[in-house]
Structures are given as structure tokens and as C-alpha cells.
Amino acid sequence: NRQFRLKQRPVGRVGRADFDLVESPVPEPAEGQAVIRTLYLSLDPTNRVWMTDMPQYLPPVAIGEVMRGGGVGRVVASRRPDLKEGDLVTGLLGWQDYAVAGAPGELFPPTVIPDGLPIPIPSLMGACGMTGLTAYFGLTEIGTPKPGETVVVSAAAGAVGSVVGQIAKIRGCRVVGIAGGAAKCAFITEELGFDAAVDYKAADWKEQLKAATPDGIDVNFENVGGEIMETVVGRMNLYSRMPLCGMISTYNDVQRPRYDLTPFLMKRIRLQGFIVLDFKDRYAEGSIQLAQWLLAGRLKARETVVEGLEGAPEALNMLFDGGNIGKLLVKL
Ligand code: NDP
């Protein structure tokens, strides 16, 4: 059983040297435990936050602890009634080949995914999984978009952003995505049906944003923070809404950013941070809706899959370099 254990808190980009790769025998389940073989590991921007000791929504990963990470796997041995051998499960399996469910310190028990769904596992982890649920609840419950309104989403070709834009289209909105580079901009407009794309790597991106939002912005689904967020806020309308989902542009920084809140006052913008876990009692409802849209062809799922556990630390940097389109996964 190979495990990545956090060796030190990374400064800036994550490196292989921030982890120890430790090998041990495949674990045996004790009474009340089950052993799960990981099939896919989810790489998420929040993994980088968990490596820090800044105040956050879960305890930071301790030095020496197996790196926390979401995943999907199959139960290979079980001595607990809720999981049986062969079950497909999702949970915080960690950066390792085998996870023990019911081990001390477990934050959440893994949950069984119905087997044999006509949806491939990678899409169950992305558009119909945690990032899809983040998009769904953040947009519909906090963004509360109405038909005809303008919705802007940043990191628009990524796992969360690509689903946000597609749901906003289903809700009858004008949708503008902000993404890095021509290929991602073409992906969101041509393949996903966004009304416009803004390439923030182009010198004239602020003019592009202005041209794409002639009636201002009613909902800003914020994934990035920094200058992109401040520029978007500058175009938001009176009584507009801003679900604050993430601030990926700042996660590698040691210094926390400072922002001017005056526009929120002057334009009475409703800003609300949220974590998908806030909606955990409604995951079933959200996943069913996302799966129905996917099967009806109204929602497109896209994933970038990297092979091999050993590449996980370097692969995480793809999220910060924009190397992924859609959900980033590691296949074990
Ligand atoms: P993505 O699949 O969107 O990958 C991250 C993308 O962010 C990259 O592909 C890159 O795209 C873009 N990006 C990276 N650095 C910058 C930068 N400095 N400026 C602008 N864009 C940048 O990841 P996720 O969909 O998993 O996550 C998106 C956001 O949502 C993150 O902030 C994450 O923390 C947050 N999140 C929050 C959750 C919650 O419960 N609140 C749950 C899940 C995610 P590009 O090539 O366009 O630059």
C-alpha cells in the first residue's frame, strides 16, 4: 500500500519533496472497518488549502498524516454491516492505494454509489459528483439566477465553472465565462453553449468583459479571487448576488489578500461564501438532478485524467497552471 504522507507545509507551489511516499502491506480490516481499493482520486484546489494551517472548514492535514483527498474505490474486505465486498464507494480515501473506512480520526464515512449507472465513474466524480453539486447548490441557492439575468463565472472551463455555466443556461440566463486561453474559451462557447467567453490572459480582457456584459452582471459565481474578482465586482448591478465558492488565485500565497468592500455597500451586493458540505443533506436531490440533465444531453461532463498515484503532487499543480479542462482526476 503506497501512501503519500505530508512531510512539510508547502510554500508556494506543491512539490514532491513536501511528501514522503511510504510503502506498507495492504491493511486488514478490524471489527467495524472495511478496506477500500482506490480507483480514482479527485484532485481539488482545496487540497492545497488543507496542506496549510490557515483557519479553514476542516482540520488541516497534520504533518506525517496521509494526504487527505476525495476518491472513488471498491470495497475489497469488510467487517462492518453498511459496506460489503464489491461495493463502489466515494469518500475521503486519501492519497493512497488502500483506505481503511472506520479508522480512528475518520471525518466522514464513505458512501455507497449505486453500481451499474449509465454514467462513467469519472463523470460521477465531476459533473454529477462533488464539483457538480458545488455548482448546483452555489448557483441555484445562493446565486438565485432568474431568466434573462447575466451570470458570470470564473475558472469557467474547470470542474465547477463548466457546470455552473451550463446550469445557468438551463435556467435561461445570459452566461459569460472567464477562462485562460483561446482553447478553453472555445470549449465553453462552442461545446458548452456559453453566450460569451473572456480570455483573461489576453491584454484586452477587461474590454472583453465589458463587451460581454452590456447590461452589467446579476450573479458572479466567484472561483478565482484577485484582480479578476475585483474587475467583475466593478461591473455588478444593484442588488446583484455573489456566491463566493473559491479563490484559487490566492491558495499558493503566504500573504492573505486585502480587498475593498465599498462596491458591495454602494451596490448592495449580497456576498455569501459557502462550502458544498453545507448542503450534504441534499446531495441525493442534487446528484439526481445533475444525472438527469447529463442523461438528457443538457449537461456535458468533461474530465482530465492523469495516470498513476505517484504523480499526484505534480498533477495538483495543473489546477494552478490551468493544465486541466473539467474535473481533474488521478487514475490508480
Ligand atoms: P478547476 O477544475 O476549475 O481548476 C482550477 C482552474 O482555475 C484552472 O484550470 C485554471 O483555469 C484556473 N486558475 C488557476 N489559477 C488561476 C489564476 N491565478 N487566475 C485565474 N484562474 C486561475 O477546479 P475546481 O472546479 O475544482 O475549483 C474551482 C474553484 O472552486 C476553486 O477556487 C475551488 O477552491 C472552489 N471549490 C469550492 C468548493 C466549495 O465547496 N466551496 C468545492 C469545490 C471547489 P484557467 O486555465 O482558466 O486559468
Does 289 fall in a domain?
Answer: no
Reported as a single tens digit per residue, the pLDDT across 227-285 is 999 999 999 999 999 999 999 999 999 999 999 999 999 999 999 999 999 999 999 99
Does 242 fall in a domain?
Answer: yes
User: 177: Cβ below 6 Å to ligand 1?
Assistant: no
Q: Are residues 307 and 228 in the same domain?
A: no
User: 142: Cβ below 6 Å to ligand 1?
Assistant: no
Q: Are residues 155 and 219 in the same domain?
A: yes
Q: How far away, in angstroms, is 104 Cα from ligand 1 center?
A: 31
User: 329: Cβ below 6 Å to ligand 1?
Assistant: no
Does 286 fall in a domain?
Answer: no
**171 falls in which pLDDT band (50, 70, 90)?**
very high
User: 223: Cβ below 6 Å to ligand 1?
Assistant: yes
Does 296 fall in a domain?
Answer: no
Q: In the predicted model, is pLDDT for residue 18 greater than 90?
A: yes
By most ligand atoms within 8 Å of CB, the mutation choice from 248, 276, 303 for ligand 1 is: 248
42 closest CA partner among 111, 120, 107, 121: 121
Task: Quote the pLDDT of residue 6.
Answer: 98
| Alpha carbon distances (Å) from 245 to 14, 46, 99 | 22, 11, 28
Q: Are residues 135 and 242 in the same domain?
A: yes
Q: Are residues 262 and 326 in the same domain?
A: no
Does 292 fall in a domain?
Answer: no
User: 184: Cβ below 6 Å to ligand 1?
Assistant: yes
The total of other beta-carbon atoms located within 10 Å of residue 15's CB is 13
C-alpha cell at 189: 462557447
In sequence order, what E strands does 107-180 have?
A: 111-112, 150-154, 174-179
Span 103-107, average pLDDT: 92
The mean pLDDT of the chain is: 98
Task: Quote the pLDDT of residue 115.
Answer: 86
Q: How far away, in angstroms, is 116 Cα from ligand 1 center?
A: 30
Does 234 fall in a domain?
Answer: yes
Q: Are residues 122 and 152 in the same domain?
A: no
- Contacts with 183 (C-beta within 8 Å, 6 or more apart), sequence order: none
User: 276: Cβ below 6 Å to ligand 1?
Assistant: yes
CATH code for the domain in which residue 6 is found:
3.90.180.10
Residue pair 282/137 in contact (Cβ under 8 Å)? The answer is yes
Q: In the predicted model, is pLDDT for residue 102 greater than 90?
A: yes
Let me know the angle formed at the C-alpha of 115 by 113 and 121, rounded to the nearest 5 degrees.
Answer: 70
Number of domains comprising the chain:
2
Does 61 fall in a domain?
Answer: yes
Q: Are residues 224 and 110 in the same domain?
A: no
Q: Are residues 66 and 8 in the same domain?
A: yes
Residue pair 246/222 in contact (Cβ under 8 Å)? The answer is yes
Q: Are residues 152 and 185 in the same domain?
A: yes
Q: Are residues 122 and 140 in the same domain?
A: no
Residue with cell 492523469: 306
Q: Are residues 272 and 151 in the same domain?
A: yes
Q: What are phi and psi of 311, to 5 degrees?
A: -90, 5
**68 falls in which pLDDT band (50, 70, 90)?**
very high
Q: Which amino acid is at 58?
A: L
Does 71 fall in a domain?
Answer: yes
Could you report the predicted ipTM of this complex, rounded to two decimals? Answer: 0.99
Return d(Cα 197, Cα 194) in angstroms, integer: 7
Return d(Cα 110, Cα 13) in angstroms, integer: 30
Protein residue with least CA distance to atom 11, ligand 1:
322
Span 200-222, average pLDDT: 98
Q: Are residues 176 and 309 in the same domain?
A: no
Q: Are residues 183 and 265 in the same domain?
A: yes
Give the structural domain span for 266.
130-278
**SS3 per-residue string spanning the chain:** CEEEEECCCCCCCCCHHHEEEEECCCCCCCCCCEEEEEEEEECCHHHHHHCCCCCCCCCCCCCCCECCCCEEEEEEEECECCECCCCEEEECCCCECEEEECCCCCCCCCEECCCCCCCCHHHHHCCCCHHHHHHHHHHHHHHCCCCCCEEEEECCCEHHHHHHHHHHHHCCCEEEEEECCHHHHHHHHHHCCCCEEEECCCCCHHHHHHHHCCCCEEEEEECCCHHHHHHHHCCEEEEEEEEECCCHHHCCCCCCCCCCCHHHHHCCCEEEECCHHHHHHHHHHHHHHHHHHHHCCCCCCCEEEEECHHHHHHHHHHHHHCCCCEEEEEEC
Return d(Cα 118, Cα 153) in angstroms, integer: 29
User: 287: Cβ below 6 Å to ligand 1?
Assistant: no
User: 48: Cβ below 6 Å to ligand 1?
Assistant: no
CATH code for the domain in which residue 227 is found:
3.40.50.720
Q: How far away, in angstroms, is 322 Cα from ligand 1 center?
A: 8
Residue with cell 448542503: 279
